[in-house]
Amino acid sequence: MVPIDLPATPRFPVYSLQGPGLQGAETSVPRPDGQDKVQLTQAVVPGNFTLLDGDGSVTAGFSVNARPEESQLERVPVEQIEALLGEGAVLPVGHSTKMSDALSGHWDSRWNFIPG
């Protein structure tokens, strides 16, 4: 939940939220009667958000960051990858096998990974 303090004047009954993943009714932010603050729950996707007043002027801006575990750069164990993709799915660094050879037997040949 993102709390946003609204300016004293002008006050609008409805504000508009712009940002990634927002569509339709999610962009509408009604101001609670007599309140000088709104609580935004729509901003759940990482990115930059802007709250616009009734005239289309920027009232506030904020960012939602990705969860820290999404940028964890630790190496995934080979066993875990092969459990998901099959034995031999991980090739050692410097291996000279062609990609088509490496993929054979893992996926149906009808899949085109590179448009041709």
- Tens-place pLDDT, residues 59-94: 999 999 998 888 888 888 999 999 998 888 887 787
Q: How far apart are CA 74 and CA 97, in angstroms?
A: 25
Q: Are 43 and 17 in contact (CB under 8 A)?
A: yes
Our CA dihedral for 41, 44, 18, 21, rounded to 10 degrees, sits at: -130
Terminal CA-CA length for the chain: 46
- The answer to whether the pTM exceeds 0.95 is no
pLDDT of residue 16: 96
Q: Where are the chain's structural domains?
A: 2-66, 76-103
- Tens-place pLDDT, residues 5-50: 998 888 899 999 999 999 999 999 999 888 889 999 999 999 999 9
